[in-house]
Amino acid sequence: MRFISIIMGSKSDYEVMQECAKVLDKFGVPYELIISSAHRSPHRTKSYVSEAEEKGAKVFICAAGMAAHLAGVVASLTVKPVIGVPMKGGFMDGMDALLSTVQMPAGMPVATVAVGKAGAVNAAYLAMQILAIDDEELRAKLQEDRLSKAKKVEADSSEVEVIIDATQA
């Protein structure tokens, strides 16, 4: 079975990361969701990554705030894609987490998305795009979702737009 693994550094990340899970649910993509800290439970983190890979995890999504080392630690334990979701909080309200997640040493990549809820949603979409490389059904669902979003923009615009006809000016 292939699935996406979502790892949060603490329970305080759960409210935001539920948005990630909701997107995966919408597309019918299986996932696991756990709490494991790079600092407070490093042995649990290491064991979980190994076990998740054995069970079929194809992409890891890691959410953490402040020092935000979780995604980097997971990246050090696997060659599977790792997506980091920086979380708000702390002295710098998420900027520290963003910089910690995005500034990885060469050869140890972590794809980094936006801080907070938008990042959680985008992490789900990015993980699904990775899976869709060899999954035609998922790719079709993602393409339909994009088309739906484009149609919504047009519908929203039609409710408010004012267009000047250049031939009449």
Q: Which residues are annotated as a binding site for substrate?
A: 10, 13, 40
Contact 26, 88 (CB under 8 A): no
**Residue labelled with tokens 């969701």:** 33
Contact (CB, 8 A) for 8 and 14 = yes
Residue 71 sits at φ, ψ, to 5 deg, of: -60, -40
* Burial label, 150 (beta-carbon count in 10 A; 0-12, 13-18, 19+): exposed
Annotated binding site: 10, 13, 40
